[in-house]
Structure 1
Amino acid sequence: MTKTIHPITHPLNASVRVPGSKSLTNRALLMAALAEGKTTLRNALFSDDSDYFAKALQNLGFEVELNPERKEIGVRGLGGNIPATSAELFIGNSGTTARFLTAFLTLGKGEYSIDGEPRMRERPIGDLLAALRKLGAKLEANNNCPPVNITASGLSGGKTEIAGNISSQYLSALLMIAPYSQSPVEIEVSTALSSKPYIDMTISIMRDFGVDVERDQYQRFRIQPARYLPVSNYSIESDASAASYFFAAPAICGGTARVENISRGSVQGDINFLDILREMGCEIKEIDTAIEVTGNANLRGIDVDMRDIPDTAQTLSAIAPFASSPTRIRGIASARVKETDRVSAVCTELARLGITVEEYDDGMKIYPCENIQPATIRTYNDHRMAMAFSLIGLRVEGVQIENPACVSKTFPNFFDVLEELRM
């Protein structure tokens, strides 16, 4: 199945709203389950990724109320107790669910397993397992990838270390479960840390649920034994990664697009994608609880390190061919172990459109292209490939997206919202 994206032939003048943040929703779900009492998440994300996490909690015996119409999730936490003493959990290709649940389940008492789709069985998790073992956990995995088998009896705590250049979700997972260890936890980051804003986000949400983290920049973190407090009404911001596609649209089509329910003060690091658009020549305005982006006919190419916001690199790759000079994207080697090898996939699909691109270990260089060719874009079952390359179709005739349903991972109604740009 494919979806044809039809060009928009007029400057944009649109206002859209994107779903709640996946990163915030899944972190809040974990902390709500560990707290003692009822937490209600407002504007929660309802997508494949969040559904896998919520349903895993239900399978573990937690009371989880899902209300998709109201965008609300209610979770009754049990003060660090996990009701089920055994469970086999399937988590699709949700990396956050795999990593967060792996850490979370070490706090239980019993035998648990986590498995997913074939691609998930290729995504590394060995560093997280090694770090958890140093805190007293017993875990096994095939070739350091799921399925993961956990023999849980709680965590003793102590000192551990984790690499920071593979996935920041490893460190986030350790931070979130550390308060429930029997003794204080100290985590040392053994390499340079990618995606630093995601760690800031994790610590911010932990604070919202009543737990503080001592830190030495991004090198060392200390967490004392503590308990999360339930939050009766926890509001989830709109997803900044999802918003990036609509921030980017005016750079390609001209005119102005407004994204509701998000601000420059967001705890989500991907809000900084706006700085890239400004550097390329776009105008950014914050109005009330919304952000407006206005395009510039003289879009400039840039040289940018995106190691802290790798999930928006595909968005930039869709804008780059329309710039007046080449764009060099650096620092995204971690993107090679996402839903697909995103560096290779982006370069392959840009070339399919007739765009000149050079691939590097940590990124790519994309050249301007005045005659982009019609093509059917492979998505590799990666939601961000589908969403990013749809942007090119807003300007170029003949762009089709293969397997458009893959956007259900984080943004099920993406194509409906994309259509709102035509109004």
Structure 2
Amino acid sequence: MIENEELFTVTPEEFNKNVVVPSSKSYANRVIILASLCKESVEIINLPLSHDVTNLIAALRVVGLKILDIENGIQVVNSFPECESDTDEIIEVFPGDGGTTTRFLIPFLALGKKNYKIEPEGRMRERPIADLLESLVDIGATVSQCESWLTISGPISCSQRMITADASKTTQHATALALSLSSQNVDVLPKDMNYSVSYWEMTKSLIRDFKQGSRRFVVPVDFSSMSYILALGADLGSVSISNCTSVDQYQSDSVFLDILKEMGCEISISNEGLTLTREKEFLPIDMDCSNCPDLVPTLAFICSRTKGVSTLSNLSVLKYKESDRLVEIQKLLDLYNIENTYNEEDDLLTISGNITRVSESKNIFPPDDHRIVMASYLFLRANGGGELSSIESVSKSFNNFFEVVS
């Protein structure tokens, strides 16, 4: 715990609200990169209040992009690498701790001729990046890993019409290459893609949209962020989400709607928004999480509230996130005496739920990981309440989370 760190007090109480949730940072950052390569002006509407998005926009402005603030969005006016400055000095770029922000910027900047120093924050400095760098060196990038993390220069140029990218640990490397190389009409073929296939499909769809002439994009709601609100409503009352009027098939975490229906919830979606109610105990589930790893913290909470045994499989990718999320999830389950076991060989987490709420107040000090912090809030709110640290980390994806849930 950091001395003098602000703690947020969580009160155990019902949750019955009509709310608005953030739009998708995954969608937004993909569109922003593609817009920054487009030689025509592009408008992006309904941007989320996410540090990953604002950090990306700030970094792009540093390297010469003219990005105007417009009502509820931005307009990207010029394009990279044409907008590069004339300086011979190394240009420093600070992408924050975001995976999409940092990884998307690396091949993007390698399209230029200048030298760029990329200095991310936090655990991003430890997350896998070698496979992406190797792919860039193969097509002409000069890369130097140093104390300040990484310097890179280009320009990269690929004579092949297709290259492969290792996707065994993350799809973000393949996506980063595909976004930047789309300007050279190079296709990327992911290799050993075991996780988050839907996000790869989102990438391909947006590249197609740009090539077909789309120049205005409206960012859909973020189903990852919405999962925490849905979980609160399902366990502690009901919820309506006024800005969710459809399901985005390219967001893998939208599967949470089907999971909640399977577990006993009633969900409807119309032009008026989404509504959720529940009138019976949660049913346990058996879930392959390979396509929705970001959903696992929320799933673990819901499974803890069932009367029965649930299993979540294909979780090993969680160790490469902003924290080792598998370890942190088990800490939360243990804190509330929820029986759980993880079989590493089978990559399977078994959770024996308990519908009896723990009345004792708890203090939780999670790592600086937005998803673990929000999952911790769910456990506190559903049980005896208490105090929660690392609350600023939610700004990565859900800036006003604590205002929405209060």
By the TM > 0.5 criterion, same fold?
A: yes
State the distance in 1 between where 2:349 and 2:282 align: 19
DSSP 3-state at the match of 1:113: strand
What's the counterpart of residue 152 of structure 1? 154
More displaced stretch, 199-208 vs 348-357 = 348-357
1:191-270 correspondence runs (5 A): 191-210=192-211, 229=213, 231=215, 233-270=216-253
Please say if residues 18 and 242 of structure 2, whose CA atoms lie closer than 8 Å, have aligned partners that are also in contact: yes
- Percent identity reads 30
More displaced stretch, 406-415 vs 114-123 = 114-123
What's the counterpart of residue 179 of structure 1? 182
Query: Compared with structure 1, are the counterparts of its residues 198 and 260 closer, same or farther at alpha carbon in structure 2 (3 Å cutoff)?
Result: same
Query: Compared with structure 1, are the counterparts of its residues 41 and 192 closer, same or farther at alpha carbon in structure 2 (3 Å cutoff)?
Result: closer
More displaced stretch, 330-339 vs 369-378 = 369-378
State the distance in 2 between where 1:391 and 1:260 align: 22
State the distance in 2 between where 1:302 and 1:190 align: 30
Please say if residues 38 and 230 of structure 1, whose CA atoms lie closer than 8 Å, have aligned partners that are also in contact: no
DSSP 3-state at the match of 2:117: strand
Partner AA of 1:376 in structure 2: N
Matched, 1:48 2:51: yes
DSSP 3-state at the match of 1:358: strand
Please say if residues 287 and 311 of structure 2, whose CA atoms lie closer than 8 Å, have aligned partners that are also in contact: yes
Deviation per CA, 1:158-197, whole angstroms, max 9, x where unpaired?
Answer: 253222221111111111112223xx53533331431000
Please say if residues 251 and 296 of structure 1, whose CA atoms lie closer than 8 Å, have aligned partners that are also in contact: no
1:286 to 269, 291, 298: 269
State the distance in 2 between where 1:170 and 1:122 align: 15
Please say if residues 43 and 74 of structure 2, whose CA atoms lie closer than 8 Å, have aligned partners that are also in contact: yes
Matched, 1:331 2:318: no
1:254-403 correspondence runs (5 A): 254-288=237-271, 290-361=273-344, 362-369=347-354, 370-372=356-358, 373-403=360-390
1:136 CA displacement: 2.8
State the distance in 1 between where 2:80 and 2:116 align: 19
Query: Compared with structure 1, are the counterparts of its residues 291 and 199 closer, same or farther at alpha carbon in structure 2 (3 Å cutoff)?
Result: same
Please say if residues 164 and 191 of structure 1, whose CA atoms lie closer than 8 Å, have aligned partners that are also in contact: yes
Please say if residues 249 and 257 of structure 1, whose CA atoms lie closer than 8 Å, have aligned partners that are also in contact: no
State the distance in 1 between where 2:231 and 2:330 align: 19
> Quick check: which one's strand share is greater?
1
1:230 CA displacement: 6.5
What's the counterpart of residue 215 of structure 1? none
Matched, 1:87 2:91: yes
DSSP 3-state at the match of 2:224: helix
What's the counterpart of residue 117 of structure 2? 113
Please say if residues 220 and 248 of structure 2, whose CA atoms lie closer than 8 Å, have aligned partners that are also in contact: no
Query: Compared with structure 1, are the counterparts of its residues 19 and 106 closer, same or farther at alpha carbon in structure 2 (3 Å cutoff)?
Result: same
Query: Compared with structure 1, are the counterparts of its residues 245 and 401 closer, same or farther at alpha carbon in structure 2 (3 Å cutoff)?
Result: same
1:123-138 correspondence runs (5 A): 123-138=127-142
State the distance in 1 between where 2:196 and 2:343 align: 19
State the distance in 2 between where 1:403 and 1:79 align: 36
DSSP 3-state at the match of 1:109: coil
State the distance in 1 between where 2:339 and 2:159 align: 51
Deviation per CA, 1:348-371, whole angstroms, max 9, x where unpaired?
Answer: 122123322223444522222325
State the distance in 1 between where 2:60 and 2:210 align: 18
Matched, 1:102 2:85: no
State the distance in 1 between where 2:124 and 2:80 align: 30
Count of aligned residue pairs for this structure pair: 393
State the distance in 2 between where 1:187 and 1:101 align: 17
1:267 CA displacement: 2.9
In the alignment, structure 2 segments of 5+ residues that lack a partner are: 1-5
DSSP 3-state at the match of 1:93: coil
State the distance in 2 between where 1:40 and 1:352 align: 46
Matched, 1:404 2:391: yes
Please say if residues 166 and 190 of structure 2, whose CA atoms lie closer than 8 Å, have aligned partners that are also in contact: yes
Per the normalisation by structure 1, the TM-score is 0.87
Per the normalisation by structure 2, the TM-score is 0.90
State the distance in 2 between where 1:363 and 1:345 align: 15
Partner AA of 1:121 in structure 2: R
State the distance in 1 between where 2:272 and 2:104 align: 30
State the distance in 2 between where 1:148 and 1:333 align: 27
What's the counterpart of residue 171 of structure 2? 168
In the alignment, structure 1 segments of 5+ residues that lack a partner are: 212-228
Deviation per CA, 1:223-269, whole angstroms, max 9, x where unpaired?
Answer: xxxxxx571x3211111111111122222113343352341244322
State the distance in 2 between where 1:399 and 1:357 align: 23
